[in-house]
Amino acid sequence: MSNSAQEGGLSLSLQGKVVLVTGGSRGIGAATVRLFRQAGARVVFSYRQAREQAEALAQASGGESVCRALRRELNSVEDGSALVAAATGVFGRLDCLVINHGIWPAHDQPVARMPAQQWRTTLGVNLDSVFGLVQAGVRQMLDQPMPPGRVRGHLVLIASTAAQRGEAFHADYAASKGAMVSLTKSLSSELAPEGILCNCVAPGWVRTEMSEATLGDPQAAEKALRLIPLGRAAEPEEIAGPVVFLCTPWAGFVSGEIFNVNGGAVLAG
């Protein structure tokens, strides 16, 4: 790899690879879809409600021959499995699975008064469906021949700084994302010998529709941003870059890592 890099320049090409990105119509997911397409991969991404945005993104990313949007609910194990089956049916294989979808109830909810339904809903979307995606995605990758370089596939889970230091009044969200960190480490130990690398990207505050209610409120934004040494929230592309990098040959010896992309906030809060 080093000789070709010297002769032809640095390449992050993913030509020939097929990627599934969950929650890909907006925010971090949409930025990730665009960047994978720029790297030459064919991409399938899921969306739940934003049909017009999803269809526009797929068209702008090259159209149905290289980028396909699938409308899917992701609330359960079965939903996750069904999405992998549908996505694999589009381009016939799966090389990279990026689990990006999730919900964050924006209202503060003291744990003593948190409705059981809120807990179940958050864990259903943020964790149960993840198990279905991972299980079906791994099965698909194991069915594919081991290529030269001994990397069959990549799993990238999107967690959060809340996974590592908790988040008061958002115990459901923090617990679900903390589980993603543990899952990443468990999957790495189990799957790396099979040629499947699993890593986790942990963003902090990012300017997306999900965070708009907080970052659009001057007082709430000031409280959130003062804990970030860089003094600002990230742009979605700044999260997408590390996600795509972890699926390139340059990250071929990286497994089980929690890639913090939060402006230093996880060390300061």
The segments of the chain whose pLDDT lies below 70 read: 1-8, 211, 269
Q: Has residue 195 been placed in a domain?
A: yes
Do 201 and 234 touch, CB atoms closer than 8 A? Answer: no
Q: Has residue 192 been placed in a domain?
A: yes
Range of the domain at 46: 10-268
Measure the CA–CA gap between 166 and 170, rounded to whole angstroms.
Answer: 8
Q: Has residue 62 been placed in a domain?
A: yes
Tokens of 11: 């390449």
Q: Has residue 102 been placed in a domain?
A: yes
Q: Has residue 5 been placed in a domain?
A: no
Q: Has residue 150 been placed in a domain?
A: yes
User: Which single residue is written with the structure tokens 């993603």?
Assistant: 180
**pLDDT tens readout for residues 120-156:** 999 999 999 999 999 999 999 999 988 777 899 999 9
Please name the amino acid found at residue 137.
G
Q: How many residues does the chain have?
A: 269
What predicted TM-score, i.e. pTM, was given to this entire model? 0.91
Q: Has residue 68 been placed in a domain?
A: yes
User: Which single residue is written with the structure tokens 């008064």?
Assistant: 113
Q: How many domains does the chain have?
A: 1
Among 234, 230, 212, smallest CA distance to 221 is for: 212
- 143 CB neighbour count, 10 Å cutoff: 11
Name the residues annotated as catalytic: 160, 173, 177
CATH for 138: 3.40.50.720
Q: Helix or strand or coil: residue 100?
A: coil
Q: Has residue 73 been placed in a domain?
A: yes
Measure the CA–CA gap between 14 and 199, rounded to whole angstroms.
Answer: 17
